[in-house]
Structure 1
Amino acid sequence: MPKGITQEQVNAAADALVAAGDKPTVEKIRQALGTGSPNTVMRMLDTWRSSLAQRLQEVIKLPGVPPEAGQAFAEVWRLAVAQAETLARTALVEDQNALFAAQTSLAQEQKLWEIALNEAQTNAAESTAKLTQADVQLCERQTLVEQLEAQRLDLMHQRDRLQVQLEQQRVELDELRTEYSIVQEHVRTVEDRSHQQVDRARLEIKSVQQRLEREQREHSKLVAQLTAQQEELRVTVRVAEQAAAHQAGRVAAFEATLSQWRSASPSKRAVKKSLPGAKERPKNRTRKHTR
């Protein structure tokens, strides 16, 4: 933990704790300052308490302070000092216990290292004996060792390259995760917009279907009306055709009579004219029949 705290900093932190209704302790002072060793903070906190006692005595000696208030202040100060000393002793005991535990752990670790060192020395002696016996085989295996060393160096280079690649892949993975988050957000936005469009399309389709059904009903009515009108027209056409056929028969009979009349001899015409009661037809009527 970094050092370098001042008495003014400790005084300010303690005054702030007292103003907040809290008890100034070593741990709270360290938490407020974020630095300082327990011993240093405890020493400076004792100095603050001494100065606080002096300030309290000065307040008590003021002419406007009643003796009862001074005694109350003194009693409160005595209780606060006792409580602070208790807390300080508790914190000191805790620190001493932690230090003792650390020392015990270091002693045990030292013993373990000594045992390991003895074993290593024993192994070294045995290795020296084996090395002496292996001198004959050393020359034969030197080539193999060199090959293995080359392979080791090659593997180390490969490991370094793989580490670089792994780091690059980690960076790329972070970028991909960021892009994936962006894409997910975009997809959610698109999905929300699509849902809105689908809902709007459903409403429009429903409206179109209702309009289509209404138009189909109107169309059915119109088809029924047109069918009825068509049936009436068919009846009218049949009646007209029958009337036309009847008129055509009359015209044909009239034309046959007219042809017979035209083919009659002039003598018969003269006889007809000389007959009593016979009337001469008007010329315009003869022309009309001629036509």
Structure 2
Amino acid sequence: MAIGVQEADVWAAADTLLQAGEQPTIERVRLQLGRGSPNTVGPHLKAWFRGLSGRLNATGQAEVAGPAPDSVTQAAQQFWTLALAAAKEEWQQAIAIERQALTNAQEILAADQRVLALEQERLSQRETDLKATIYSLREQAAALRDRAETLEKQCQQSDARATSLEARLTEVTERERALQERQHEAEQQHRQALAAAEQRHASHERRWLNDLDVQRQATRKAQDDLEQHRKTATTSQAAHQDALARAADELRDAHDELAQARHESLNTERTIAQLEQAQDALQTQLAMAQTSAAAVHDSLKERVADLNLRLAEQSDQLQVKDQQIAAQAQVLAQTQALAQQQVGHATSSTPKAKRVPER
């Protein structure tokens, strides 16, 4: 069974890198070990850095009898300075990366907000256009209903005119029938008078001729009156029939226009219903887009807050690292001072050569 990277392994690899003159970093330690993840190596390496000053101090105190040469001390100081500078640069790069990520997240949030604003404006404009279209169609429907009512009134008027014309035609027909009856009665009277005149022909020839003349004139006048009435009735009947035909045509046209208007009104009402359904769907889409945009906005705000928190943690860690570096530099200075004191003490404790007395 494979065993994970332990603290002792990380510390040993860091010591090896330090002895080789390289700065111990997470990647270098991982390369040195040949395994381990950054999340595992990182905490162990931080612990190694925290204990480095104590180890150096303990090493300095343990080697009192043998002070380090100046070249070693200078090399260690130079290496330590480079290590501190590299560590600080690494932390600054990490902070720069976090700040860049925060800037990118803020830019993404601003872009999403602009896209959301444009989408809301587009949906609002579309809703306004739909409302205007619905209002226009409702006005058209109202106009069509008014037109249909007008056509119905015209149809009723045409029906009334047709009824009146039919009544007048009936009246003319009755008058013609009455004239025909009067003509028939006049002919009967003429025949009766002619028969009576023939009976009285022998004794009353002169009177008969006069009466016959009177009767013929009366008959001719009755025939002329009848013919005139017949012509008048024919002309009036033809006029009434023409008027009735025109009224029937007008009534048929009015019925056709009414049917067309009703059909257009039905289509308009269907279009209005479809547009209202589209408006409801658009309002639903707008609500969903606003909800989605709010969720994205909240997610981005949480991400920005998380990045700000991470940046603050990185800043705190950098401050702690700076304090550790300062403490380690102080320990190094103390170690160097102790080494110099040990060198001076060793020099002063060396026995001097005895002087030869003069003779």
- Length-normalised TM-score, structure 2: 0.30
Q: Which has the higher contact order (CA 8 A, sep 6+)?
A: 2
- Length-normalised TM-score, structure 1: 0.36
